[in-house]
Homo-oligomer: A and B are copies of this chain.
Amino acid sequence: MPLLTTDQADCCAPVTAGVMEAEDAKQLARMFKALGDPTRVRLLSMIAAQSGAEACVCDLTEPVGLSQPTVSHHMKQLVDAGLVTREQRGKWSYYAIVPETLAMLSAVLDPRSLPAG
């Protein structure tokens, strides 16, 4: 179940642009919560570091030093948040970064939208 039914790039106005609607805040918080765990931050950076910004679980389990079910669990969080996609190729699951979601979150946090300047 994806997080956003509409295009993620159009989710929300910047956090710094004014009072945010409760629903927008809920969606944003869900994505930030997915980033709110050290293991998931590392997993995301490890995927991004691969050529083509994609990786299979087999590439990720050993470096993070956690069990395979735990890595699968974290990857599911990232997929549900819309930060990565999952594609089955043969026996392997390949996870790829969703640049649009990262760009949206990056824009939301941009302090250049602050009223005072």
Q: Does A57 interact with chain B (Cβ within 8 Å)?
A: no
The interface residues of chain B lying within 8 Å CB-to-CB of A19 are 42, 45-46, 49, 63
Q: Does A107 interact with chain B (Cβ within 8 Å)?
A: yes
Shortest beta-carbon distance, A16 to chain B, in Å? 4
Within the oligomer, what is the number of copies of this chain? 2
In this complex, what residue of B is CB-closest to A41?
B25
In this complex, what residue of B is CB-closest to A21?
B42
Range class of the A interface residue count: 35 or more
Q: Of residues 1 to 59 in A, which have CB atoms within 8 Å of B's CB atoms?
A: 15-20, 22, 25-26, 28-30, 32-42, 44-46, 48-49, 51-53
A35 to B27, CA, bound (A): 11
Contact of A45 among B16, B52, B97, B105 (CB under 8 A): B16
B36-A22 in contact (CB<8A): no
In this complex, what residue of B is CB-closest to A26?
B38
